[in-house]
Amino acid sequence: MKTPLTYCKDGGCDKSFGWRTCLPCSLDETTFEREGGGCAACEPAKHQHLVDKNNRKQCTECDLCSELAVQRPAVPLNTLSSFAQVPSEYTVARVTAACVALPRRRLEKAGDVLVLVDDAHWRQRSKAQGEPLPAHHFVDRAAGCLNAR
C-alpha cells in the first residue's frame, strides 16, 4: 500500500506549496470534508461544534445543556490504513470531539450540614465552551437549559 504524497498548491494543506503527506479529515472531529475537497473547521459562532457522525460533510452543535470537549491524543501513523507501511516511530494527533454535560452545582453533606459544591455553568449558543454563571443567576433546566436567569 502506498503512502499518499500530494503536491500542495491550495488552502487544503498546512503549507502553501511543496510536497507533503496529506492526512484525512476524519482524523479531526472538529473539521468536515468540503464538497470540493479538503477540510474546513466547524465554526461555533455559526452553531457548529463538531462533525455530524451521520454526515462527515457537515457539522452539528451541542445542545445548550452541554459543551464541546476536545482531546488530541497522539496515535501511531501506521495505524491508519493508508500509512500502514510508514515506520512506527511517527505519530499524528487524532482530534476527538464530544458534547459533555455542563458542570452543575450540587449539594453535599459535610457533617450535619448541606453545602453547595462546584459552580453551575451555562453556554451561549454561539460558543463551544460553557462558563460559570454570573452572581445571582440560575440555569432554568426545566426549560431545557435555555436560559440563565
Residue-wise DSSP of 6-52: EEE-STTSSSSSEEEEPPPGGGBTTEEE-TTSSEEE--GGGT--EEE
What is the C-alpha separation between 119 and 135, in angstroms, rounded? 11
Residue type, 119: D
**pTM (2 decimals)?**
0.70
Mean pLDDT of 9-21: 53
Is the model more confident about 86 or about 24?
24
pLDDT digits (tens, 9 = 90+) for 61-108: 999 889 999 999 888 877 777 677 766 677 778 899 999 999 888 888
Domain residue ranges in the chain: 5-143
Q: Of 7-16, 43-52, 75-84, 111-120, give the range with the top mean pLDDT.
A: 43-52
